[in-house]
C-alpha cells in the first residue's frame, strides 16, 4: 500500500493528490474527504498546533490499521498546521481501492480516528480573544463505531 502523510502549512491541490493516488489505472475507486474551516460568527483565525513526529507516527499507525481492515491500494493524508481562515482547507484523507465501498469505509474510518487520535489542537481567534477548541464527544462516538 502506497502511503503519503504530510503535515504542512501550505494548502494542497486535491486534483494532483487524487491523480497521483489513482495512478495510471491501478485504482478504480478513490474516496476523499476534505475538512474546511467553517465561517462561524466572529471567527477570524483558526490556528492549528501539533506534536511533531508523533503526529506522523500516529497517522502512520492509523493508516496501517486501515490497511488490515480493507484491501487498499493507497492512502494520502495531508493535515495543515498554522493559521487558517474561514473557508480554508484543514485536512485531506484520500483512499484508493479496487472497490468503492472499501474506499469509502477506510476514508471515514481514518477521519474518525484522525479526529480522536492524531495530536492536533485548534485555537480559535474571535473578537473576544483566543479560545482552545473543546474536543467533541460525538467524535469519540464516531470512532467507537469502528471498534472490533
Partner 1 sequence: MNLLYFAWVRQKIGKGEEQMTPPVSDVASLIAHLKNIGPNYADAFADLSRIRMAVNQHHAGLDAKLGPNDEVAFFPPVTGG
Which residues contact partner 1 by CB under 8 A? 35, 48-51, 53-54, 57-58, 79, 90-91, 111, 114-123, 132-136, 139
Task: Answer with the entry of its own copies, partner 1, none that 57 interacts with (C-beta below 5 to 8 A by kind).
Answer: partner 1
Return the range that interacts with its own copies (CB under 8 A); candidates 55-63, 74-82, 94-102, 127-135. Answer: 94-102
The C-alpha cell that represents 107 in the structure block: 476514508
Of partner 1, its own copies, none, which one sits near residue 73, judging by CB under 5 to 8 A according to partner kind? none
Specify the residue, 44 or 130, whose C-beta has the smaller distance to partner 1. Answer: 130
H-only helix segments in 52-146: 54-69, 100-117, 137-144
Taking alpha carbons only, the member of 131, 36, 134 closest to residue 86 is 36
Alpha-carbon distances, residue 91 vs 25, 28, 69, 128, 129 (angstroms): 25, 23, 22, 27, 25
Amino acid at each position: 500500500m502506497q502511503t503519503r502523510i504530510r503535515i504542512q502549512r501550505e494548502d494542497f491541490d486535491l486534483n494532483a493528490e487524487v491523480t497521483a493516488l489513482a495512478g495510471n489505472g491501478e485504482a478504480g475507486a478513490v474516496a476523499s474527504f476534505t475538512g474546511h474551516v467553517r465561517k462561524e460568527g466572529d471567527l477570524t483565525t483558526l490556528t492549528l498546533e501539533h506534536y511533531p513526529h508523533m503526529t506522523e507516527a500516529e497517522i502512520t499507525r492509523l493508516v496501517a490499521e486501515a490497511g488490515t481492515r480493507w484491501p487498499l491500494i493507497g492512502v494520502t493524508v495531508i493535515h495543515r498546521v498554522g493559521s487558517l481562515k474561514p473557508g480554508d482547507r484543514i485536512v485531506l484523507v484520500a483512499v484508493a481501492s479496487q472497490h468503492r465501498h472499501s474506499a469509502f469505509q477506510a476514508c471515514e474510518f481514518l477521519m474518525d480516528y484522525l479526529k480522536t487520535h492524531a495530536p492536533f489542537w485548534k485555537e480559535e481567534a474571535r473578537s473576544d480573544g483566543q479560545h482552545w477548541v473543546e474536543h467533541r464527544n460525538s467524535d469519540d462516538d464516531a470512532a467507537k463505531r469502528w471498534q472490533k
